[in-house]
Amino acid sequence: MISVNDLRTGITVEIDGTLYTVVEFLHVKPGKGAAFVRTKLKNLETGAVFERNFRAGERLNRAHIETKEMQYLYNSGDEYFFMDSATYEQISLSRDLLGDDVYFLKDNMTLHVKFHQGRAIGVELPTFVELQVTHTEPGVRGDTAAGGSKPATLETGLVVQVPLFVETGDVIRVDTRTKEYLSRV
């Protein structure tokens, strides 16, 4: 059990048999009335995000999440296959479970897969991923005065806004949390 006063971003809790990850939290102490905690919770099965308020001091069941270091191998249709680095056991995760995380998966990439009671519930991506630009329009000379940006399609199918100097074939670093361009490699 964990008190809602101790909630932090990324903590996984179990409410009515369903797993939720805390996306945001805010302790509110109104001038009149009791304090409460306003949270944004993400359902790990459906991916839906909703807001819920808890009374201060209320207790929730904390889910025990186990992580294993695994290597991404390949995908076949909507199934993505991972191999345990220690036991060489393979598992598959559906695209529905992974959501937008599939745009950051590269062959032979090492990452952490999260398990709850022996069932895979998602992946924990590295903070930054290096991906190659497969298509982007050429930057027009003189457009740089405003510090503009243009869309670029990456090797995984993700489209991000990049500065005008980035060209097709460049390798760029992308933040997996915000899906934003960080730098050229």
Same domain for 40 and 16? yes
Q: What is the CATH number of the domain that holds 33?
A: 2.30.30.30
What domain range includes position 30? 2-62
How much is the pTM? 0.74
Which of 75, 100, 124 is the last residue in one of the domains? 124
Return the structure tokens found at 105: 């998966």
20-40 pLDDT, tens digit per residue, is 888 889 998 988 888 999 999
108-118 pLDDT, tens digit per residue, is 999 999 888 88
Which of 32, 62, 92 is the last residue in one of the domains? 62
Indicate the number of domains in the chain: 3
Same domain for 146 and 112? no
Supply the pLDDT for residue 152: 92
Mean per-residue pLDDT over the chain, rounded: 87
Same domain for 148 and 105? no
Q: What is the CATH number of the domain that holds 153?
A: 2.40.50.140
Same domain for 84 and 72? yes
